[in-house]
Structure 1
Amino acid sequence: MLARRSHDFDAAEDAVQEALLAAATHWPRDGVPDNPRGWLLQVATRRLVDHVRAEASRRRRELLAAQHEPAGARPSGEDDTLTVLLLCCHPSLTPASAIALTLRAVGGLTTAEVAHAFGVPEATMAQRISRAKQTVRAAGATFAIPASDALPERLRSVLHVLYLVFNEGYTTTRGADLHRVELSDEAIRLARLVHRARPGDGEAAGLLALMLLVDARRPARTDDAGDPVPLPLQDRSRWDAAAVEEGLALLDRALRLGPAGEYALQAAVAAEHDRAPSADATDWPRILALYGALERLTGNPVVTLNRAVAAAMVDGPQAGLALLAGLDDRLPSTHRLDAVRGYLHELAGDAASALPHYRRAAALATNLPEQRHLTAKVAELGRATGAGEGGARGPR
């Protein structure tokens, strides 16, 4: 509300944070006011007025803010979160900057929390967020829903950013935990908001369906030590049945709204796993066909990686390995390609060929639970082949 009124996102954010700090100080002592939102808006507006008064060049905004000061009136129920989200995903920003700005301005994470999620110093992340704000301002962005002709492209950026945030939360790039629950939960919350605002958008429904269908497995994804449990070995009774049901309903809606986009197709793959009562009952031919459609649509090498696994389940490990032949240059510096190659060689009964791939995957993994899992696989195959554990480097 304050940003819409003042047309100054940075000043509005500072004023709101000062109001929240004031509330944290006064409310425990004086009690929560009858109208907490009105109280916060009134205090934030006054803080903004103080800021305006401090700068002579903003005197016109001072008058505008003073004229609209609510004086205790109940604020409008209008929700501006989607407008802020669209602003944070401005096309002038790189995906990394858009993610950081979204988590800070919309997700409510502190700069330190955002920095921790991406493994960079807090000062570095603060500079990244500050530069992102300056970039948006320099691009002439206004606090308003984009024009109808620009909205679809901006929504695609929003969905992409939320997809990346969810993935980082579901399997963190680095750190001591497999998940960062606050990131995946926040991505789901924001995806719900976008879907609510754009109920006729099939990809918005598809993305929310994908998140719910994948996140439903979270309770069974790790063992007591926090290490990954592969999908075929997960206790499916621990999956969140309510999330699966909601995700399936959303997927049906997304598919009825028009041709399936990339998020709806990924959700359809997740649905096949979630519908199967056991790993052996998984409809791998259907999953292989879905990955084929997704690969034709996106050309994404990660899709090819997943299609190789599906092909191995349908046509045998050699078929999967053949699909991986051209991915080395397209998937550099990631442990996943070697992990999949190791798995497919192991599936073919060739432990000796699988072992060096698992070793490289363990060396490249930056998430400690995944690294421990891969190192354990190296040790297991080393014992089976008599090669020992030489060359394996687990976490210290």
Structure 2
Amino acid sequence: MQMREIEKNGDKISALGFGAMRLPTKTGRIDKESAKKLIYDSIDNGINFIDTAYPYHGGASESFLGEILQGEYREKVKLCTKMPSWFIKKYDDMEKYLEIQLEKLQTDYIDYYLIHSLGKGSFEKLKEIGVFEFLEDAKAKGKIKNIGFSFHDNVNSFKEIVDAYDWDACLIQYNYLDEQTQAGTEGLKYAHSKGIAVFIMEPLKGGLLAGKVPEKTLKIWDKSPVKRSPADWALRWVLDHPEVTCVISGMGDEEQIKENIKVATEALPNSLAEDELKLYDEVKEVYEDLMAVDCTGCGYCMPCPKGVDIPRCFEIYNHKYMFDEGFRASFLYLGQLGGVMGGDETHAGLCTDCGKCIKACPQKIDIPERLGDVSKEIGGRGFKYKLKIGKAVLVPVFSAFMSLSSRL
């Protein structure tokens, strides 16, 4: 297995990490025997970074890892989990959730502790209640070894967060379709220039760049004399970047593990040939043709005076059309842009058609008009009532469930 060293702390991390968000399940719960075998096989074959988070598998992911990562298997891996930022209202909450997570993981320390799903709004609120003081104290007590954050916002916000603290690591979404989405390539290089380890989530864009893919893309990949699966191509593209420390993959079966380990062993930085890179450009064109809005996620339209997260609105909207993800799009829209899972409301319905964004858009998109489409098609009728129900009922119920599950 290829190892990539973090200059800041000397940790040698496997180029491929195991993501514990999509473990195999049986009757709605983690299939413990299958998942245990997958993780042990991964570790035995050189993977030494395991990523989880408080809400994964309804709160069961951390507890499961705590059960199986004991003795030598705990010693062989760097364990990463995340502070559930949307539940944090005061300083004491941070202490409470860290203690719960340590207990669930059955460990005295967490190797990489990240603030989960950080954006500009949530970051400002956490700073106000002393998140840096808490993290420094936890590190001094040996409860966490490295401090970082996972990120979902635009590149300008990413840079502001990077510059606000001496971070050890960050986790960003990155793949060959997301070069200019969220942190993007610009953010990747910026974090690396600051000595921050960069871990990658969604290298396959939630599986959308693997498995069932547009037929036109398969014909393009077939032009290469070297035959690879769509998943291989996607992982290889991310690993080609020398700034990347580790790619986190949610592997659900032995074949996926075998293939991904093979790619991570072969795909050294800057190893893709020029003609291979051209194939990625052709494949990207196919996906872009399927997009409902020709938005590159550059962020020039931001910030919106009314707080609309314009790039994210269009990203979710495009996914709906490219991959027939109507339900998932509505769920993400409500949870992330509606503020149901924390943070401010940033949905398309807040647009007042001021026109500021149109002047700034390099693609000359009629942004207010398209935001209206997003609001109508994804938010749907009665969106305000959905938000009220979500904030009044879903979050408290989910919070109570998570607190209960942590004690089971």
Q: Same fold (TM over 0.5)?
A: no
- Larger Rg belongs to: 1
Q: Please state which structure has a larger fraction of its residues in helix.
A: 1
The one of the two structures with greater contact order (alpha-carbon pairs below 8 A, sep at least 6) is: 2
Q: Please state which structure has a larger fraction of its residues in strand.
A: 2
TM bucket by the smaller chain? 0.3 to 0.5
